[in-house]
A = this chain, B = another copy of it.
Amino acid sequence: MDGNLSWVLDRATRIAGANIAVIDGDRRFTYRELDRRVAGLDAGLAALGIQGGDVVGVLALNSHRHFELWHAVPRGGAVLNDLNIRLAAAELRYILEDADTAALFVDDAFLQVGSELAAEIASIRHLIYAGDGVAPAGTLSYEELAATAPRPAPTLPPDALAGIFYTGGTTGRPKGAMLSHANLLANAKHVLTGFGYESDDRYLHGAPMFHLADGATTYALTWVGGTHVMVPTFDAALVAHTIQQERVTISTLVPTMINMLINLPDLDTYDLSSVRRLNYGASPMPARVLTDAMGKLDCEWAQAYGMTEASPLVTICSTEDHRRGAAGEEPYATRMRSAGQPVVGVQAEVRRLDGSAAEVGEPGEIWVRGPNVMQGYWRREEETTAALDAEGWYHSGDAAYLDADGYIFIVDRVKDMIISGGENVYSTEVENAIHMHPDVLEAAVFGIPDERWGERVHAVVVRKPGGTVDEAGIVEACRAQIAGFKLPRSVEFSANPLPKSGAGKVLKRDLREPHWKGMDRRVS
């Protein structure tokens, strides 16, 4: 019997019922209180006719109610669709329709856009107001739902779908990664094994809860009866204040958040001594930011690498690697620039295009396998088949190489790798070189067709206001840092910001497209 997500809160309530489960501003709930509210929501959803397999959308900032929905929606077999709050209305509509969303929860921040979407989308039968005020006309009251008399939790098979998590917009239309109860339970165990949360940990949900980088902790920390501390959205001063006020011990933040935190002008005035570890991940960590952060915040550091399709945790670069690496000790200093090693329970290998194992140092694609790997993309058979092979490997699209100790160094997205004259060029390496020029605000590098070399390195650069660097200046800046065959052969200057997805990732696809019109590319 493999269990389901209801086991997580069940254990916390039994072993730590009097512990504080959630702190959200002035509100705090014990695990017993949380369990009662979650059971009420489950019964309330059932009373609304939400059945097993029905998709329930959530469009909200971080809050105790948002947290409760992660437990309440899957409890009865419904499917959580937690939406990226940075998306535009049209993107949200696409996802809500694609998922056949049956009910939508919105908080005060998203009441208006949620109301409009609910009115337009035929499948949405209920709009539920999860804000702090009185439920407006046309919405149901979250608090009334939560007060429903509980029902016995239905028995769910472990492969029941628990959530559909839509991923990035850098490769086309958003795709819904289908994560089962077993997937999310496996990930929670991997997180606990890798990070060692304890019942007296107080975790700050500083990154948005819809993102699995934060969501990974939602189940893991609950399982050990720890305390979840909420901030509605990342604000460096609010985060510092909350850490001090609630004696936060752990958080997972993305590099830009850490950068904002350490650059608070009054950072020194906060007492952040309760923090025992910060995890970072979800995007590359610039070396300078990490060095600064480790200098300014006296705690342990760990990096996590993963992806929505893996629920998400795949590798960890450990606290020891960071501690000894920061002191300049090898091989830790080098390892500190890696994504780390596969966590217990997950296989991650670097494979060549033909599927064979890459040698140490040889770049290839990261393949991931384990009980945490998604069931597939919602209603996308073709993309599912392309991503998941018959042996259970998920082909991540991330390009990387291994060192002799199994540390994974990520170099690029596979599709952004440039093969020029038979040599591999990683776009990220060239971008990093271009960024060293003080006039550069943004840069994107990709391959464009070249009759002689197959592909050649092309850069699109946005100058800082007042910046005057030209093509020769860019190439010159790069020459000092990277080999000749990696240098941009052409540079294009854009007056506008680079196009980005709702999640803030640069859409290289849009930049690349005009150059490849009517031509086939090696890697799609």
Of A88-96, A129-137, A189-197, the stretch lying at the interface with chain B is A189-197
A155 & B391 in contact (Cβ 8 Å cutoff):
yes
- Please, which residues of chain B bring their CB within 8 A of the CB of A17? 405-406
Q: A15-B342, A15-B405 known; A3 and B347 CB under 8 Å? A: yes
Q: Does the CB pair A14–B342 fall under 8 Å?
A: yes
Instruction: State A370–B189 Cα separation when bound (angstroms).
Output: 13
| Number of chain copies forming the complex | 2
Whether the Cβ atoms of B1 and A406 lie closer than 8 Å is no
Contact residues in B for A3 (Cβ distance below 8 Å): 345, 347, 369-371
Specify which of B18, B369, B370, B406 is in contact with A15 (CB 8 Å cutoff): B406
List the B side residues contacting A391 at CB < 8 Å. Answer: 1, 155
A203 within 8 A of B: no
Check A2 against B405 for contact (C-beta < 8 Å): no
Q: Are A11 and B370 closer than 8 Å at their CB atoms?
A: no
Majority DSSP secondary structure for residues of A touching B? loop
Within 8 A of B (CB), among A363-385: 369-371, 373
Interface residues in A173-204 (C-beta closer than 8 Å to B): 185, 189, 192-193, 196
Minimum CB–CB distance for A505 against chain B, Å? 28
| Given A224-B344, A406-B14, A1-B373 contact (CB < 8 Å) | yes
Chain B nearest CB, measured from A221 CB (Å): 11
* Assembled-state Cα–Cα distance A422/B508 (Å): 77
| Neighbouring B residues of A185 by C-beta, 8 Å | 345
Q: A1-B369, A370-B3, A392-B1 are in contact. Are A347 and B193 (CB under 8 A)?
A: no
* Chain A, interface residues (CB within 8 Å), range: 20 to 34
A223 at the interface (CB under 8 A from B): yes
A302 CA / B356 CA spacing, docked (Å): 45
Of the candidates B18, B155, B193, B341, the one whose C-beta lies within 8 Å of that of A193 is B193
Of the residues B192, B344, B370, contact of A344 by C-beta under 8 Å: B192
Residues of B within 8 A of A16 (CB): 405-406
Q: Tell me the complex Cα distance, A18–B404, Å.
A: 10
Chain B residues with CB under 8 Å of A10's CB are 347
Instruction: List the B side residues contacting A14 at CB < 8 Å.
Output: 341-342, 406
From B189, B392, B406, A345 is in contact (CB under 8 Å) with: B189
User: With the chains together, A185 CA to B17 CA distance in Å?
Assistant: 29
List chain B residues, Cβ under 8 A from A155: 391
- Given the complex of chains A and B, what is the CA–CA distance between A369 and B155 in angstroms? 13
Determine how close the nearest CB of chain B comes to the CB of A357; give it in whole angstroms.
11
Taking a contact as CB atoms under 8 Å apart, the answer to whether A11 and B347 are in contact is: yes
Residues A213-245 near B (CB distance < 8 A):
223-224
User: Closest CB of chain B to A73's CB: distance in Å?
Assistant: 21
A7 CB–B CB distance under 8 Å: yes
Q: Of B15, B344, B371, B373, which contacts A341 at CB under 8 A? A: B15
- The residue on B at minimum CB distance from A192 is B193
A8: nearest chain-B partner, CB-CB: B344
Q: Which residues of A in the span 319-376 have a Cβ within 8 Å of any Cβ on B?
A: 341-342, 344-345, 347, 369-371, 373
Identify 6 new A-B residue pairs, CB closer than 8 A, beyond the known A2-B371, A14-B406.
A1-B369, A1-B392, A10-B347, A15-B406, A16-B405, A185-B345
27 A-B pairs in the complex with CB atoms less than 8 angstroms apart: A1-B369, A1-B370, A1-B392, A2-B370, A2-B371, A3-B347, A3-B369, A3-B371, A7-B345, A10-B347, A11-B342, A11-B347, A14-B341, A14-B342, A14-B406, A15-B342, A15-B406, A17-B405, A17-B406, A18-B405, A155-B391, A185-B345, A189-B193, A189-B344, A189-B345, A193-B193, A196-B196
Q: Which 5 A-B pairs have the closest CB atoms?
A: A1-B392, A14-B406, A15-B406, A15-B341, A2-B371
